[in-house]
Amino acid sequence: MKLSFSPKLSTFLKPSSVTNLHRSFCSSSISSPPPTSLKPQTPLFLKPPVHSAAFSDLQKWHDWAKSLASSVGSTFVDLDNGPDSTLLCREIKWLMEDAIEEESEGMENNQRSIRLRVALEELYMLWKQRVEERRPFQYVVGCEHWRELVLCVQEGVLIPRPETELIVDLVGDVVLGNEGLREGLWADLGTGSGAIAIGIGRILGTGGRVIATDLSPAAIEVAGFNVQRYGLQDVVELRQGSWLEPLKDMEGKLAGLVSNPPYIPSDDISGLQAEVGRHEPKVALDGGINGMDDLLHICKGAASMLKPGGFFAFETNGEKQCKHLVEYMENDAGGNFCNLKIVPDFAGIHRFVTGFHK
């Protein structure tokens, strides 16, 4: 059935298989974001459309949400480089694409019934959280688009960033034409949502496997949800624990080791964008005084974990940390590493350190 809606709302109301992000609610008081749960929350776009609302009521919500977004102007940009009204209005569109299933037949004009994956009241609450509490949009809708994946994310789990996608590309380059690496055992330390582990698992050979570790029980549960959703249970194994601790039985056996560890200097945490500093897990952000604590810890353990010829790729905060890491590996790592490289991200910022175990 062809949908016919007012110009204001028509672009949003269509049968949707689109996988985007979350919602909000208009009440006199702001509801707090849900507490961190060990049970993965179903992303909005995967929820069944068991709710409904009249077209006119959904139009009112849309007008209210747009008004709230427009009131922000450039305030958040000026404050901490946060979202402006233009981006927030774009998020309203994405939110509606995720929340709306289709219109019900047999209704006319403004009383047409729209099938929703979440109650209209909750849409008000979610959008209020997004704007007034600066709750990350990815937590609102419960997912993040990353590479070709749509990953479940929630409070307590770091939202994967676009630049981190390059780690999978770097692994893809080294396994091409190298059967030992392609069919080998890899480790992703601090897996979070499981993004890197899943990305690597999809490019390895039939014999390749990935072990993903994380200290957070919530992260392990969310990563497990994502691994299962992409049918990689036989490829990606999840182990809870700090960095290399869960891998004591894998010493000298790893073909590859990758990590996007916390690397933000402690004193910089308070100045982060509110969506990040207030809501994302500090344990996944704070890298100590100079941001290098976890990077150096992982480097010190990498030599004993990688087999000869094994590859590693670590994400850093930028050029200064990259140079520090390379200098450490060249001068203080017992000569265990070779072919060290500093690789830029999409923006040209020196972001990754890669190399091989001798």
Q: Which of 141, 173, 189 is the last residue of a domain?
A: 141
The CA distance from 132 to 123, in Å, is: 14
In a domain, 134, yes or no: yes
CB atoms within 10 A of CB 95: 27
Asked if 134 and 165 sit in the same domain, the reply is no
- The better pLDDT of the pair 15, 324 is held by 324
Q: Six-digit token pair at 250?
A: 């894998």
So what's the pLDDT on residue 112? 84
> Which residue would you say has higher pLDDT here, 228 or 19?
228
Q: What is the pLDDT of residue 203?
A: 97
Half-sphere exposure of 327 (CA within 13 A, CB side): 7
Q: Do 181 and 326 belong to one domain?
A: yes
> Do 334 and 265 fall into the same domain?
yes
- 128, 160: one domain: no
**Bridge partners, residue 187, by sequence:** 211, 257
Alpha helices in the chain (DSSP H): 55-70, 75-80, 85-99, 120-132, 137-141, 165-175, 179-182, 195-201, 217-229, 274-277, 293-305, 319-331
| 254 and 347 fall within a common domain | yes
Domain closes at, from 109, 141, 173: 141
Identify whether 149 is part of a domain: no
In a domain, 119, yes or no: yes
Contact 116, 99 (CB under 8 A): yes
CB 139 within 8 A of CB 19: no
Domain annotation covers residue 81: yes
CA separation, residue 232 to residues 95, 99, 143, 150, 282 (Å): 28, 28, 18, 14, 29
* 194 shares a domain with 63: no
Mean pLDDT lowest for which of 6-20, 64-78, 103-117? Answer: 6-20
Question: Are 235 and 321 contained in the same domain?
Answer: yes
**What type of residue is 316?**
T
Read off φ and ψ for residue 268, nearest 5 degrees: -90, -10
pLDDT at 334: 87
Assess whether 254 and 329 both reside in one domain: yes
Average pLDDT, the chain: 89
Say yes or no to pLDDT of 123 above 70: yes
Structural domain boundaries enclosing 107: 1-141
pTM attached to this predicted model: 0.88
Q: Examine the pLDDT at 2 and tell me if it is beyond 50.
A: no
Claim to verify: residue 120 and residue 179 sit in the same structural domain:
no
Same-domain pairing of 104 and 165? no
What pLDDT does residue 37 have? 58
Q: Which amino acid, one-letter code, is at 106?
A: G
pLDDT of residue 18: 31
Please tell me the total count of domains within the chain.
2
Amino acid at residue number 289: I
- Domain termination site, one of 107, 141, 175: 141
Residue 171's domain is classified under what CATH number? 3.40.50.150
Whether 298 maps to a domain, the answer reads yes
Residues 6+ apart with CB under 8 A from 218: 36, 37, 38, 154, 155, 156, 157
In angstroms, rounded to a whole number, what is the distance separating the alpha carbons of residues 248 and 28?
53
Residue 148 in domain: no
125 and 160 co-located in one domain: no
pLDDT value for 35: 54
Contact 152, 229 (CB under 8 A): yes
What percent of the chain has pLDDT above 90?
A: 84
For residue 67, what pLDDT band results from cuts at 50, 70 and 90?
very high
Q: Is residue 146 part of a domain?
A: no
Are residues 162 and 137 both part of a single domain? no
Instruction: Evaluate whether residue 285 is within a structural domain.
Output: yes
